[in-house]
Amino acid sequence: VSTDIVERLLSGDRRALARMVTLIENESPAAREYLARLYPQSGRAQIIGVTGSPGAGKSTLVTQVARELRRRDLRVGVVAVDPSSPFTGGAILGDRIRMQELAGDPNVFIRSMASRGSLGGLAAATRDVARALDAAGFQVVIIETVGAGQAEVEIVRAAHSVLVVTVPGMGDDIQALKAGILEIADIFVVNKADRPGADQAAAELRMLLSLAAKQPKSPDVWRVPILKTSATQGEGIAEVVDALFRHRAFLSESGQLARRNQRQVYSEVLALLQHALAQRLKQTVPDEEWQHLIDAVVERRENPYQVADLLARRVGLSDPNQAGV
Ligand code: GDP
C-alpha cells in the first residue's frame, strides 16, 4: 500500500485529495512540491466559474447542475469560495446544506474555501484546488463564489466557462453588473424564472450584451446565451449543462482555448515570480532599512530609481536596468 499522497490522490483516494486541499489552503511548502508532480495529470477537466449576487440562487443552481452532470455520468468537483469572510478553520457557507445529498456520492467532491490574507493568495489557492481535482479525475470542476464583486470576478477569471446568475426584478442590479461582469460572462442565467419578470430580465440582458458586443455576427465570437432556470424546481438545468458543453467545444474549435491557456500560464508564472521576488525582498531587507530608504527618498536625499536599483542588486538582479527594474 502506497502512502504517497500524490499516488493515492491519482488513484482516487478521497482522503488524500482532502488532505491535499488542506495543504494548499495552508500554503504549505509541501503542497507546491505535490502540485508540481500532479501538474502533468491535470488539464483535462472543464473548469466552470459561477458568480452572481448573494441570494440569486447560485448554490441551488450549482447543486442541480452537479446532479445533471452526475446523470450524464461525469465526476464533479465543487469549490465554494468566499473571499469576503476570513478562514474559520471549518465549513463556511453552512457548507452548502443543499448540497448534502450530493456529498455521499463518491463521484462528487465538495469543498469550501475562505479568504486568508491576500486575494491573490486565495485566487491562486482556488486554482490549485481546481487543479488537484482535475488531476484526481473530476471531469468538471465548478468554482462557485458567494457574491459578484471584484474579488469574485478575479477568482472565476481562471475558469474556462463563466456562468453569471441573475434573477428577475433586478433591473437596477443588472445595471450595477458593471462592464466587468458583462465581459466575463460566457453564459447568463436568469434564475427564479418561476417568478414574474424573467422574460423582461432576459431582454434587458440581451440589450446590454448587444451594446457591449463588438462583432456579434462573426462566427469566431461566442454569442452569450441567456437561459432561464428555476433551480428549486430543477427547470432549465439540462439546457445550462448543454450550453456549458457547447461553450467548451467552441473554445477548442475556435482556438480560443489554446490562447486562453497561453495567457493563463503566462500570468501564473509571472505571479509566482512576483511572489518569489517579494519574499526575497522581505528576507533580505529588514523593516528598519526599508524605513531608512523611504525616509531618504521622501527627504530628497535619494531618488526612487536609485533605491530600486539598490534593492534589485540586493535580491540578485545584477543588471537592474536590463531587468526593467
Ligand atoms: P446564493 O446565495 O446565490 O447561493 O443563493 P441560494 O442558492 O442560497 O438561494 C437563495 C434563496 O433563493 C434560497 O431560499 C433558495 O431556495 C431560493 N431559490 C433558489 N433558486 C430559486 C428558484 O429558482 N426559484 C425560487 N422561487 N427561489 C429560488
Nearest CA to ligand 1 atom 22: 192
Ligand 1 center–CA 62 separation, angstroms: 11
Cα of 191 vs centre of ligand 1, distance in Å, is 8
Spatial separation of the C-alpha atoms in residues 6 and 20, rounded to whole Å: 8
Nearest-angstrom CA–CA distance, 297 and 86: 36
Q: Is 60 in the pocket of ligand 1 (CB under 6 A)?
A: yes
Strand partners, 164: 51, 188
Question: How many Cβ atoms sit within 10 Å of the Cβ of residue 318?
Answer: 8
* Residue 50 CB partners (closer than 8 Å, separation 6+): 58, 61, 62, 142, 143, 144, 145, 156, 162, 163, 165
Per-residue confidence in pLDDT tens, the chain, 325 aa? 557 999 999 999 999 999 999 999 988 999 999 999 999 999 999 999 999 988 999 999 999 999 999 999 999 999 999 887 665 444 444 445 556 678 789 999 999 888 777 777 888 899 999 999 999 999 999 999 988 788 888 888 889 999 999 999 866 565 556 657 788 899 999 999 999 999 999 998 888 888 776 555 666 789 999 999 999 999 999 999 999 999 999 999 999 999 999 999 999 999 889 988 988 998 999 999 999 999 999 999 999 999 999 999 998 887 645 555 4
The answer to whether the CB of 90 falls within 8 A of the CB of 176 is no
- Report in angstroms the alpha-carbon separations of 219 from 1, 215, 247, 248, 251: 52, 9, 13, 15, 12
CA–centroid distance, 193 to ligand 1, in Å, is 11
* Pocket lining: 64 vs ligand 1, CB cutoff 6 Å: no
pTM of the model: 0.89
Query: 230 in ligand 1 pocket by Cβ < 6 Å?
Result: yes
Q: Which atom of ligand 1 is nearest to the CA of 235?
A: 23
CA distance 222 to 248: 11
Over the Cα atoms of the chain, what is R_g? 22
| Residue 320 CB partners (closer than 8 Å, separation 6+) | 308, 309, 312, 313
115 lines ligand 1 (CB under 6 A): no
Reference 304, options 283, 276, 312, 275; nearest CA is: 312
Q: Ligand 1 within 6 A of 56 CB?
A: yes
Smallest CA separation from ligand 1 atom 9, residue: 57
Ligand 1 center–CA 192 separation, angstroms: 7
Written as nine digits, the cell of 163 is 456562468
Closest C-alpha residue for ligand 1 atom 25? 192
**CA 200 to ligand 1 centroid distance, Å:** 19
Neighbour order of strands in the sheet with 140-145? 108-115, 76-86, 140-145, 46-52, 161-166, 187-190, 226-228
